[in-house]
Amino acid sequence: MTGEQILFLVISGLTIVTGILVVTLRNLFHAALAMMVSFLGVAGLYILLDAGFLAAAQLLVYIGAISILIIFAVMLTRRMMQAQDTPFNTQAGMGLFTAVISFALISFIITRLWRHPIFAAPLDVPSEVMDQVVVQLGADLVSANAYVIPFIVASLLLLAALIGAIYVAWPQEEEAP
């Protein structure tokens, strides 16, 4: 095995283990921290795939923004930090059934596409074309006609969620009889 393969196995194992911890930990704060490590593992996999832009976006957006927002929301809702309820629900069988069917469907689609002639050999793309793609992507990310509006809407949605978490966590004054 090469060093890259060993690194891939370590990073993917870390990502899978922390992903499982996210859904099984009882403490919501610890689950949020495990989610951050899982996101970091995904960024590591992007780096191994030579997808530097996706790795940077993963670090900035998911770890730097979404995870921090979730941790702040968890810390602001103190009642959730003390929850001792079981993390498992009564619909585990249906969830397992749905997961198995989804995995089978995705596996079927991937194996059908894998044999398609277009995936037989990687395409040689001239560097001039790739440079223009990156330039176009950069222009689209800041253009009002492309992706800026969805980013603004998503940020407003996250702001509304944070305000809602503050409202839920705010101590309620009891009325005197």
Helix, coil or strand: residue 174: coil
pLDDT tens figures, 12-52: 999 999 999 999 988 888 888 999 999 999 999 998 888 88
**Mean of the pLDDT values across residues 158-175?**
79
Say what the pLDDT of residue 169 is.
75
- Crossing angle of the two packed helices 28-48 and 3-24, in degrees rounded to 10: 160
Two tokens at 160? 């509304």
| Phi and psi, residue 25, nearest 5° | -70, 140
Residue given tokens 């923004």 in the structure block? 65
Tell me, which fold does domain 1-86 have in CATH? Four Helix Bundle (Hemerythrin (Met), subunit A) (1.20.120)
Say what the pLDDT of residue 145 is.
80
Instruction: Give residue limits of the domains in the chain.
Output: 1-86, 128-171
Say what the pLDDT of residue 81 is.
52
**Mean of the pLDDT values across residues 106-113?**
81
Query: What percentage of residues in the chain have a pLDDT greater than 90?
Result: 19
Amino acid at 16: I
**Mean of the pLDDT values across residues 100-116?**
83
Two tokens at 87? 């993390």
Q: How far apart are CA 140 and CA 134, in angstroms?
A: 10
Nearest to 37 by CA among 56, 63, 58: 63
- End-to-end Cα, the chain, rounded Å: 74
- Listed in sequence order, the DSSP H helices in the chain are 3-24, 28-48, 52-57, 68-76, 78-81, 92-114, 127-142, 148-169
Q: Band of the pLDDT at 176, cuts 50, 70, 90?
A: low
Highest mean pLDDT among 38-42, 94-98, 116-120, 156-160: 38-42
Whether pTM exceeds 0.75: no
